[in-house]
Amino acid sequence: MCFSENMRILIVEDEEKMARYLKQGFEENSFAVDLAFNGMDGLHQATHEVYDIILLDIMLPEYSGIEILKRMRNQHIYTPVIFLTAKDSLHDKVSGLDLGADDYIVKPFSFSELMARIRVCLRRSTGNFRDMLNVDNLKLDPLSRKVFCGDKRIDLTPVEFSILEYLMRNSGKVLTRTMISEHVWDSNFESFSNVVDVHVSNLRNKIDKKFGMRLIHTVRKVGYVLEKQDKLF
C-alpha cells in the first residue's frame, strides 16, 4: 500500500547501499529525502535543516548516532528520531530511548515495518496526522493517493499531490514558497525558481477553476494558503 505523508526526512547511515535503498523507497512514497553517510555531515544537517523525522544509525564514523542525538536535544531540537542499528540488546534499546529517541528498529527490518513506525512517531509528534483530509468539499486520502471534489475524482501528478497535501494539512496557515519547496523536494532544490508557482497554478486549474471554487489563495510576496472556499459563481 502506498504511504504518502508529504514529509521531509533525513537518513544518517554509513552503509550507502542501505541508505540509497531507503531513499528510493521514501521517494516512491512522496517523501523529500536527504542523506548523510557519516556523523559529522549528519550532525550538521540535523542541526541546520528542518526535518519532520530523522532516521539515525548508531554506529557512525566521526560522531555516533547517540552523540548526534545528544547534541540535537541539547540545542532544543526535538525532531522525532528513530535509531537504526544492528544492536539488539535490551540495554542498547533502553539507552537510546532514555536519550530522547522516539523509537528503535533493529537491522534487518522490513520497509513496511519502518513505515508503520514512522506513522506512529509522526502521529504522536504532530497531533494532526489524519488518514483522510477534508477542506470544505475537497477530500484527500494519503493512503490511496486519491483526491475528490464531492464525488468527482481529481487526477494529480505526484508533485501536485504532495503540494496539495501539505496545504491541506496546514489549512488556514500561510505557507511560504520556501516552506513548500523544503517539504516537497530535497535540500538541492532551488527555492528561488518559479517551480512552486507553476505547480500551484496547475492545482488551481484542476481544482478551483474546474469546480468553481476559491480554495488556494495567494498571499502577496509571501506564499499560499488553502482555506474554505468562496464561490466563483
CB-based contact 130:141 (threshold 8 Å): no
**Mean pLDDT, rounded, for 217-225:** 90
Of 126, 155, 175, the position where a domain reaches its end is: 126
Name which residue leads in pLDDT, 125 or 44. 44
The pLDDT > 70 percentage for the chain reads 84
Secondary structure class of 185 (helix, strand, coil): coil
Question: 193: Cβ–Cβ under 8 A, 6 or more apart, which residues?
Answer: none
**Res. 192: pLDDT tops 60:** no
Cell of 59: 554506529
Instruction: Count the domains in the chain.
Output: 2
Q: Can you tell me the distance from the alpha carbon of 145 to that of 3, in angstroms, rounded to the nearest whole number?
A: 8
Question: Which residue range(s) make up the domain with 56?
Answer: 8-126
**Residue 1, domain member (yes or no):** no
Residue type, 77: I
Question: Does residue 220 share a domain with residue 150?
Answer: yes
Question: Does residue 12 share a domain with residue 121?
Answer: yes
**Residue 153, domain member (yes or no):** yes
Q: Which of 87-91, 115-119, 180-184 has the lowest mean pLDDT?
A: 87-91
**Residue 13, domain member (yes or no):** yes
CB-based contact 184:159 (threshold 8 Å): yes
Question: Does residue 55 share a domain with residue 121?
Answer: yes
Question: Does residue 85 share a domain with residue 43?
Answer: yes
Name which residue leads in pLDDT, 182 or 218. 218
Question: Does residue 137 share a domain with residue 117?
Answer: no
Question: Does residue 13 share a domain with residue 92?
Answer: yes
What CATH number is attached to the domain comprising 114?
3.40.50.2300
Q: Which of 4-8, 15-19, 128-132, 198-202 has the lowest mean pLDDT?
A: 128-132
Q: Can you tell me the distance from the alpha carbon of 172 to that of 170, in angstroms, rounded to the nearest whole number?
A: 6
The single-letter DSSP state of residue 38 is S
Q: Can you tell me the distance from the alpha carbon of 7 to that of 26, in angstroms, rounded to the nearest whole number?
A: 10
Of 102, 126, 150, the position where a domain reaches its end is: 126
Q: Can you tell me the distance from the alpha carbon of 131 to that of 149, in angstroms, rounded to the nearest whole number?
A: 17
pLDDT of 97 reads 74
**Res. 190: pLDDT tops 70:** no
Question: Does residue 197 share a domain with residue 97?
Answer: no
Cell of 7: 514529509
Secondary structure class of 63 (helix, strand, coil): coil
**Mean pLDDT, rounded, for 31-51:** 94
pLDDT of 211 reads 83
pLDDT of 212 reads 83
pLDDT of 126 reads 58
Question: Does residue 155 share a domain with residue 107?
Answer: no
Name which residue leads in pLDDT, 137 or 192. 137
**Mean pLDDT, rounded, for 122-128:** 62
Task: List, for residues 98-110, the tens digit of each pLDDT value.
Answer: 777 888 888 888 8
**Residue 3, domain member (yes or no):** no
The single-letter DSSP state of residue 174 is -
CB-based contact 194:223 (threshold 8 Å): no
**Residue 84, domain member (yes or no):** yes
pLDDT of 209 reads 86
Question: Does residue 140 share a domain with residue 48?
Answer: no
32-36 and 146-149 strand pairing:
unpaired
**Res. 178: pLDDT tops 60:** yes
What CATH number is attached to the domain comprising 159?
1.10.10.10
pLDDT band at 30 (very low <50, low <70, confident <90, very high): confident
Largest Cα–Cα separation, the chain: 64
Which residue, chain included where needed, has cell 505547480?
199
Q: Can you tell me the distance from the alpha carbon of 79 to that of 179, in angstroms, rounded to the nearest whole number?
A: 16
